[in-house]
Amino acid sequence: VDNIINGLEITAIGMTVVFFILLVLYAALKTMELVFAAEAQAPETGAEEPAALQRPAEPRAEDGDPDEEAAVAIAAAVAVHRARVGPGAG
Amino acid sequence: MFEKLWLFIESTGFMQMTPGHGLMILISLFLLYLGIGRKYEPLLLVPIGFGMLLTNLPGTGLMAEPILEISGDSLKVERIGGLMHYLYQGDKLGIFPPLIFMGVGALTDFGPLIANPRSVLLGAAAQFGIFTTFIGAILLGYTNPEAASIGIVGGADGPTTVYLTTMLAPHMLAATAVAAYSYMALVPIIQPPIMKLLTTKQERQIVMEQLRPVSQREKIIFPIVVSILVMLFLPSAAPLVGMLMLGNLFRECGVTKRLTETSQNALINIVTIFLGVTVGASASAASFLNWKTLGILALGILAFGIGTASGVLLAKLLNLFTKNKINPLIGSAGVSAVPMAARVSQVVGQQERADNFLLMHAMGPNVAGVIGSAVVAGLMLAIFG
């Protein structure tokens, strides 16, 4: 009888501990689900305001030199022109 | 001349053979047949069977302990000790099972568990088989540490069984390991009748909601959170859970490709060889051929059956209180045996409804069962270790 009582006590403690630890893990997973689901939905629900999206982009500090950009644009235009007219032209 | 010849003849294995050796050799050949001929867990049963064969060939001394003699200040080695004795230290000191767990972690995708946290509860319920068998073993006269080692067979997790048994009842290592790996191989035979018995046709046809996608960031956070939580509550589970989660972190963090590949392949394969061979080598006639071994085999299958039933029944219970129904067939996967138990849920589910895909849903309780059985092992160690 003592052995059975001992076994039952250990079973009760054991199952309680296992369920408790895994319930804590369940709660942690649920919290993660809430946090990451909210994060995943953010772009769809419009994290940025429409007005902000419509505003023209302002020049940023890391943008390139305007002269350099103009040179690149001119070079691209010349390349397109040459492709249309053929090699040797212009 | 004749005397020397006689000495040689006496030193051969034939002259040292006992009926116990003969029987153990037959058992080892049977395990080899199961592994090679029937393909039952061949990666484990082949090394276990061969290790058993090697150490039961008399006179090899493969498991012999070294004999040291201290004379004055010097230490003289009288006998160097057998190869298997040294390899066995990896089991005895609890090194091999956690290393295998690291490989298992590197191979396991915990995404289905993260996507469906209810799976954790099913993995916990399946551990009930361990404790009921523990009581059964005590009633049959086993000591508490022995009963704990037998009960853990119901966790259907080979490395956990080996780890706990070497710590609590090393004399039963071969029997519990053979029981655990054999029953893992027999999952497709043992589980379906229990699953069908405890569920209605309607329940088996439940189609579950598709799992949400899990981000890489969640998968990286998961092993860290599990490690912290489990080890703070149960420090004795650290070797198993810690290595499992380390392997998983290698897999998910995306910056340790070489470590992941090594854990998934070379490391786990090398350690599996050593673990299998040494577990087999620990099975001597004296430790294996007794009534306790038969009891271990019988109680092991009982643990497995109760674990399966508990998972299924908890899934049914959860269905009474939740809106999104769980197919109770995935509850049986809580007994670990990754991924075979999950495959069984899939197969039994598809027998009822061909378009029902339960595999990914069942992987949740399946991997939760691995964590659950490691937690139980840690708990048993904390109580009896």
Each residue's pLDDT, cut to its tens digit, for chain B (385 residues) gives: 788 888 888 888 888 899 999 999 999 999 999 999 998 889 989 999 999 999 999 988 899 999 988 888 888 888 889 999 999 999 999 999 999 999 999 999 999 999 999 999 999 998 999 999 999 999 998 999 999 999 998 887 889 999 999 999 999 998 999 888 888 888 999 999 999 999 999 999 999 988 888 999 999 999 999 999 999 999 999 999 999 999 999 999 999 999 999 999 999 999 999 999 999 999 888 888 888 888 998 998 988 899 999 999 999 999 999 888 999 999 999 988 888 899 999 999 999 999 999 999 999 999 999 999 999 999 999 999 8
Nearest-by-Cβ selection for A22 from B120, B131, B147: B120
Tell me the shortest Cα–Cα distance from B117 to chain A, in angstroms. Answer: 6
What is the model's pLDDT at position B117?
Answer: 93
Q: B96-107 and B83-92 are packed helices; what angle lies between their axes, rounded to 10 degrees? A: 60
CA B36 from chain centre, in angstroms, equals 20
Segment A7-35 mean pLDDT:
92
Nearest-by-Cβ selection for B135 from A4, A18, A20: A4
Write the CA distances from B79 to B70, B76, B82, B320, integer angstroms.
13, 9, 9, 66
Write the CA distances from B10 to B54, B56, B82, B93, B321, integer angstroms.
19, 17, 20, 36, 73
Interface test with B, best of A15, A31, A34, A35 (most B CBs within 10 A): A15
pLDDT at A61 over 50: no
pLDDT at A42 over 80: no
In angstroms and rounded to an integer, the radius of gyration of the C-alpha atoms of chain A is: 33
Q: Does B27 touch chain A (CB under 8 A)?
A: no
Closest CA to B312 of B374, B367, B362, B373: B362
Nearest-by-Cβ selection for B218 from A19, A22, A36: A36
Q: Does B168 touch chain A (CB under 8 A)?
A: no
Tell me the shortest Cα–Cα distance from A63 to chain B, in angstroms. Answer: 31
- Please answer yes or no on whether B134 and A30 come within 8 Å at the CB atom: no
Helix, strand, or coil here: B160?
helix
The pair of three-digit structure tokens given for residue B36, joined into one six-digit string = 């090679």
Rounded mean pLDDT of chain A?
A: 71
The pair of three-digit structure tokens given for residue B346, joined into one six-digit string = 């899939």
Residues of A in contact with B120 (CB under 8 A): 22-23, 25-26, 29
Closest CA to B296 of B101, B141, B121: B141
User: pTM score, two decimals?
Assistant: 0.83
Distance CA B62, CA B66 (A): 11
What is the model's pLDDT at position B120?
Answer: 93
Distance CA B141, CA B135 (A): 10
What is the model's pLDDT at position A43?
Answer: 57
Distance CA B222, CA B161 (A): 25
Distance CA B286, CA B290 (A): 8
From chain A, which residues contact B within 8 Å (Cβ)? 3-4, 6-8, 10-11, 13-15, 17-26, 28-30, 32-33, 36-37, 40
The pair of three-digit structure tokens given for residue A58, joined into one six-digit string = 């302002």
In the stretch 323-382 of chain B, residues with CB closer than 8 A to chain A read 368, 371-372, 375-376, 379-380
In angstroms and rounded to an integer, the radius of gyration of the C-alpha atoms of chain B is: 23
Strand partners of residue B373: none
Helix, strand, or coil here: B385?
coil
Tell me the shortest Cα–Cα distance from B213 to chain A, in angstroms. Answer: 10
Residues of B in contact with A3 (CB under 8 A): 138-139
Q: Does B217 touch chain A (CB under 8 A)?
A: yes
pLDDT at A80 over 50: yes
